[in-house]
Structure formats: C-alpha cells, structure tokens
Amino acid sequence: MSAAVELLEVHKRYPGGALALDGVSLSVPRGRVLVLLGTSGSGKTTALKTVNRLVEPDAGQVTVLGRDLRAWDPIELRRGTGYVIQEAGLIPHFTVERNVGLVPELLGWPEERRRARSRELLALVGLDPARFGALPPAQLSGGERQRVGIARALAADPPLLLMDEPFGALDPLTRRRLQEEFRGLQSQLGKTVLLVTHDVPEAFRLGDEVAVMDRGRVLQRGTPAEIREAPLPGFVADFIAAAQP
Amino acid sequence: MGLLRFLAERRSELLLLTGQHVFLVLVSVGIAVTLGVPLGIALVRRPRLARPVLAFANLAQTIPSLALFGFLIPVPFIGGIGVRTAIVALVLYSLLPILRNTVTGIQQVDPAVLEAATGMGMTARQRLRLVELPLALPVILAGVRVATVVSVGTATIAAAIGAGGLGTYVFRGLATVDTRLILAGAIPAALLALTADGLLGAVQKSARPGRAAALLAGATAAIVLLALIARAPAGTRPVTVGSKNFTEQVVLGEILAARLEAAGFAVDRRLNLGGTSLCHAAVLDGQIDLYVEYSGTALTDILKRPVTPDPAAVLRTVREDYARIGLRVGSPLGFNNSYALAMRRADAEARGIRRISDLAPHAATLRVGLFGEFLEREDGMPGLVRTYGLRFGVPPREMDLGLLYQALASGKVDLVVGSATDGLIAAMDLVVLDDDRHYFPPYDAIPVMNEASLRLHPGLLEAVESLAGRIDEQAMRRMNYAVDGEHRRPADVAREFLAGAGLLSR
C-alpha cells in the first residue's frame, strides 16, 4: 500500500529563529488516519501545513499523492485537499451553504451541482440543509459550525483530509459525539486523513496510527494499542500518563 | 420668517449653487474612492510604503483649505482657479480617511478566516475579492462617509477660487455683512452634510452593504455624467471676469460683466476670489481675463515698489511694469479707494480724534481691527505706524474684511482700517480720520486685462474703456451701501448703475 503523504527529514525554522521542525519523517498510507499528537509548540501544526504548502519547508522532501510538493501548483493542491481547522474558520459573510460549496465554487462547478452537493454534505454531517443552509455561520452553535467545516472539507470529494484540532474548541459532550460521527464517516468514505491534536484520548480514539511529536521531532510512532502499552520512556510516557484520569 | 422668504426669492440661484456644490462633492469623493481604495489595498500588500503614503495624506489634510487652494493656483494642469482646482483640493482632503480606512479595514480581517480561505485554495485575487474587501467594506464605507461630510464643508471654501457652490453665498454674505446670505449658504450646506451622512450611514448598516454601495456608486456616476453633459461647452469661450472678495469688488465685477454682456460678449463670472495675490495670479495666468485693481495696491503689493503720493506717477509706473508681464492697464474708472481709518463717532468725539496724527496719545488704549493683507503690505501697517509714530497697546486683530465693521459696531475693536468707499462708513455713522501726513498712496480703480485675452476677444478693450471715468467716489459708496446696508444684490445694483449711466446698450 503506497503512502498518500510522505515527509522525509523535513526541517523548518520560522523567521525570528524558532525551530519548528527538526528532521520530521512520517508517512500516511492511503485510506488511513494518522494522528499527530503533541503539546502546543511541538511542531505538529507546522508539519500538517507543509502538506498543503501553507508552510514551505527549509529542507527535506514532502510527497503528496505520489508527487513531490514542489511539482504541485499550491492552488490546485489546496483545492484537491480537504482542510479543517479549529473553530472551523468559516467565511463569516457567506451562508452555510455557500461555505460548504466554496471549493466547488473555486473549481468552477455550475451552481446547480454546487448546491446539490452542499445539501448532500450538510445532510451527511447531520445538519438539515433546509434549516441551516441559508444562515450565516454566526447563528450556529460551535458544534454545528464544526460540522459545517467538515462538510466544506469534503465538498469536492478530495482523497486527502488535513484536520488541525478539528474538535478542539468544543465542549466534551459535543466533541465526543462528533468524534464518533467522524469515525462513522471515515469507515464509510475511506479518506486519507492527517489529523493534529493535543488530546491523548482523541488521538487513540481516531487514529489508525499515532505519531507523538515534541520539539519538532517525531518521538514514537505506532498503533494506539502499541503506544498505550509500550510508551517510550521519557516525554511520551509522561505525556500519556498525564492524560490518564 | 424673513429668511424663508429670502430663500424662496432666490430659489433658482440657490438650486444652481446647491447643484454645483453636490457636483463638486460627488466628483471629488468619487475620484478619492477610485484612487484611495486601490492604493489602500496596495499599501496593505507593501507595508513599507504605507508609512510615507499615509504621512503624505495626513499632511495634505492638515493644510488649511484656503492655503491649499492658494498653493494650487500656479500649478499647471491641475491648478488655476475654478472647478478643477477645487476638485483637486477636495480629493486631497478626502483621500486620507478613505485610504486609512481601507488599510485598517483589510488589516482587521480575522487571520484565521484568511488562512482558511487560503487553505481552501483561493488565489490572492479571489481572497481579496471574496473575503478581504467584503469584510473590510463597513470600515471603508465609514471612511467614505467621513470624507463626504468633510467635503461638503470644505467645498464651501471652493467659492473663494471661483468654483461656485453654496460657499458663494457664505462669502458674499461675509463681504456684505448680511447674515441672511451667510445662512442661505450655511443652512443648505449643513442639510447636505446631514443628508449625505444619513444616506451613507444607511448603506453601512444595510443587510447587504456591498449591493447598496454599488447602487450608490452607480447613481453617483449617473448624476456626474448627466451634469457633465449639461455643462458641455457651448461654442466659443466666454470672457471671464474676476473680482476680489469684498463688496466693492463684487459690484465692480458685476459692472464689468454686465457692460460686456451689453456689448455682446458671453461672460463667465468668477467673483469673490480670495484676494489680491489670487486675482493677480489668475489674470496673469489667463484663468480670468480681467478684474479691477487699485493703482496703489498694484504698485506696492504686486510690484513691490516704494510708495509715492503722486497718482499720475503711480499709474504710469504700474502701466509700464504691467506691460512687461503681459497685462494691459485700462483707464481709471474714476474713483480713488484709499484706505480709511474709521472709528465710532461717539468714541472719536469723546477722545477728540479727527486726524490720524491725533491717534498717537490714544494708541495705547485703542484696539485695532484690520484684515490680514494690511498687516503685511508695504503701504500698510508698518509704514502707518512709523509715519505717525503710533504705539498700540494690544496687537491689531486680523479679521475678514466683512467682519470688520461688525466688530467695530459691537465694540470688540475701537478702530478699523477699511477703505474710503465702504458703504457702511456712512450707514453706521462712522468717523473717517484724515490722512494729514499723506501716508496712503493713491488707489485709483483700474481695469487690469490679460493681453492675450484682448487679442482673443476683439472689442473687449473698447467695451471696458467705455467705463473710463464713469464711476466717482460717491457713486461707488452709494453702490456699496446699497449692497452692504440695504442688502440688495450686487448684480441688480450694477445693472441699475449702468442703466442710469446709459451704458446698458452697445
């Protein structure tokens, strides 16, 4: 099974001196969910953003869907990649429906097809299109906005989803429910997913595999069971232990 | 209720002036938006440029408007007198709020929203059009709103350079000490400002500000286009008559204009222009074809020559020197408008003052009011003080010519420097002090014409010369009083005079 995303010895230092990535290598097999787990400042979000070229690495190689990153046109790459961020990042003056249909709009789909797709996806993430479609995002609850964010990422049916703390801003109950729904969706759609979180239970619940990061490096990588049972002594063990109730 | 009837009587002129005013504001703000918004966008992209450009816009805003108009007069293409210069100045004033609000409006867009937009695969242009501009729109509109309201106010000053608008009434009212005229200009201007503010406020608050703004921009463009079509040049170029900004000058301007019209010329009136230097610059540049100057003013103020008391010598010098710079001096109109030092009669009698030399022992306790020009001029305050050995206790107060007599009447000053033909001297029963040491040079009224204009308009010189020696001091004082004291229109007073002198026919 070939990798949909592959990072090889990637380095990134931000202007101002902070070292964000210190030789990160990882790969996400097609159709699997890889979770990047770490504290804030560990470099996990930077690693994710190299994949859709929101961050340009200083050194190392990134391959997306079999093509070297530098061979991708960034606009085309981003339109072909679903992107979900914390608090959804919805465009405040667009209706929910237009937000969901944004990437199809940028791709130039005809309006009818766009609207049909928006409704289909709203229904898929559990929002009634008739009720929510015409509302501005500000009138939705946090959980509803996050669902819209996921629907938007799926709109153009991209093979790859990048999710940056997608459930980070939600209350525990809503978060738990969305996590369940995400697992259901994922088993149904079979996307390749790279997901970033600082939440250990979330990582174990959603990831086919988990990569634990600290200070710009991947310290340990394995299935949730492997990491839970044999965490690498030091940072990984402490981090996992700290999350146990 | 007098004011309402006054307004009703002048409604057609009022409507015209309001139209000119609206035109000035719409064109200026329109240009400022067209320049300011793209410039603002460019500044967000190149922050290094933002500081110097905003500093320049800030600076332009701080220049007093009359001074800015003054600076623009000698500038080729954009300068001169009239509508074009006014628009340039108004654009400069409108630019800052629009520019600054465009920059702030775009900068305050939530970076998370921008990153999401980028992550969705928007190009920089799509991000600007779909996200940044729509989200910045309320702030940009607030800037347009400020610019518009400020422009409505500033546009009143445009009358000083002959651009018309409601300021025409304000300046005319100030010059003739006529409160109703001032109000006739100020109240409609204030109403215009309120209307513009309300309209743009409604756009800002509307559910779809983008569509409302587009609608408003479309309507503006349509109005401006219609106005331009209506203003399209009608064949030959008219003769442009100028005047300075006080009653006598306006009356003389109207006399010249009516006389020229009677002689068959089309005439463009640019009356009430800022002052001597403004009129001189304008006639030199051909912005106006002629105006009436005073020989002493030309000698000392414009030519910077020493004061001499001989009227014939002064006229000869002025005529010769003017010929070298392309200006023709016509024959004197017949009156000498020298400076006059005037006091309230009761005050003068109580102090026993009849001549200027009587002032010396009282100077320490007298408050003097004068207009700015007199303070600076070679034949003004400095020489007067020297010749008569005056030592005033408080520095003279500068005020607009039109306000001098009000200040004297209300006791705010005790002595004013006016001119010998001021109608209010008789109307207010003032005492004019005798210039017993012959300090003031002669101020014979003389038409000053641009040589090129004389070549362009055959018969112009003859028509102007037909006025030679026809206006004496008494006639001039009477006409001044008819305007200042009886609040009659300068144009009517001028026509009446010409009719009486048999000068209204070819």
Residue B72: alpha-carbon gap to chain centroid: 13
Clarify whether residues A164 and A122 are in a common domain: no
Of residues B153 and B231, more confidently modeled:
B153
B339-432 architecture in CATH? 3-Layer(aba) Sandwich (3.40)
| Entry pTM | 0.68
- At residue B305, the 3 state secondary structure works out as coil
Clarify whether residues A235 and A117 are in a common domain: no
State the complex-level ipTM: 0.85
What's the structural domain count of chain A?
2
Structural domain range at position A110: 90-158
Cα separations in angstroms, A62 against A11, A38, A84, A232, B115 = 11, 21, 20, 26, 21
Cβ-based neighbour number of residue B124 at 10 Å: 11
Clarify whether residues A39 and A139 are in a common domain: no
Q: Answer whether B123 touches A (CB < 8 Å).
A: yes
Say if strands A209-214 and A59-64 run parallel, antiparallel, or are unpaired: unpaired
* Model pLDDT for residues B60-96, shown as the tens digit of each residue: 778 877 777 777 776 766 666 677 888 888 888 888 8
Clarify whether residues A129 and A42 are in a common domain: no
- Inter-axis angle of helices B473-484 and B247-262, nearest 10: 110
Clarify whether residues A119 and A216 are in a common domain: no
Clarify whether residues A206 and A163 are in a common domain: yes
Q: What is the maximum span of chain A, computed from C-alpha positions, in angstroms? A: 56
Give a yes or no: residue A85 inside a domain: no
Clarify whether residues A132 and A167 are in a common domain: no
**Cβ distance of A85 and B119 shorter than 8 Å:** yes
Q: Answer whether B121 touches A (CB < 8 Å).
A: yes
A-B C-beta contacts closer than 8 Å? 51
| Predicted local confidence at residue B234, as pLDDT | 44
Clarify whether residues A163 and A234 are in a common domain: yes
Closest CA in chain A for residue B210: A93
Ordered per-residue pLDDT tens for chain A, 245 residues = 478 888 888 888 888 778 888 888 899 998 899 999 988 888 888 999 989 888 888 888 888 888 888 888 888 889 888 898 877 688 888 999 999 998 899 888 998 999 999 998 888 888 888 888 888 998 988 888 888 988 898 888 888 889 998 887 778 888 888 888 888 888 888 889 999 999 898 899 988 999 999 888 888 898 998 888 888 888 888 888 887 76
Domain edges within chain B = 2-231, 239-336+443-500, 339-432
**Cβ distance of A85 and B115 shorter than 8 Å:** yes
Residue B123: alpha-carbon gap to chain centroid: 50
Clarify whether residues A69 and A95 are in a common domain: no
* Cβ(B357)–Cβ(B436) below 8 Å: yes
Q: Is the CATH code 3.30.420.40 the one for domain B239-336+443-500? A: no
* Cβ(B274)–Cβ(B280) below 8 Å: no
**Cβ distance of B135 and A102 shorter than 8 Å:** no
* Of residues B119, B130, B134, nearest to A52 (C-beta): B119
Give a yes or no: residue A174 inside a domain: yes
**Cβ distance of A93 and B134 shorter than 8 Å:** yes
Last residue of a domain, one of A138, A158, A178: A158
Decide: residue B166, CB within 10 A, 0-12 exposed, 13-18 middle, 19+ buried. Answer: buried
**Cβ distance of B130 and A87 shorter than 8 Å:** no
Q: Answer whether A83 touches B (CB < 8 Å).
A: yes
Clarify whether residues A75 and A188 are in a common domain: yes
Shortest CA distance to A196 belongs to which of A59, A14, A54?
Answer: A54
Q: Answer whether B124 touches A (CB < 8 Å).
A: no
Last residue of a domain, one of A158, A175, A194: A158
Clarify whether residues A74 and A193 are in a common domain: yes
* Cβ(B355)–Cβ(B433) below 8 Å: yes
Could you give the CA distance from residue A168 to residue B175 in angstroms, rounded to a whole number? Answer: 72
The radius of gyration computed from the CA coordinates of chain A, to the nearest angstrom, equals 18
**Cβ distance of B112 and A89 shorter than 8 Å:** yes
| Assigned CATH topology for domain B2-231 | MetI-like fold (1.10.3720)
The reply to whether B239-336+443-500 and B339-432 are identical in fold is yes
Dihedral over alpha carbons B376, B379, B380, B383 (to 10 degrees): 100
| Predicted local confidence at residue B235, as pLDDT | 46
Clarify whether residues A56 and A150 are in a common domain: no
Chain A residues within an 8 Å CB radius of B117: 91
Give a yes or no: residue A181 inside a domain: yes
The upper half-sphere exposure of residue B222, i.e. CA atoms within 13 Å in the direction of its Cβ, equals 6
* Of residues A92, A93, A103, nearest to B120 (C-beta): A103
* Cβ(B146)–Cβ(B61) below 8 Å: no
* Model pLDDT for residues B234-257, shown as the tens digit of each residue: 445 789 999 998 889 999 999 999
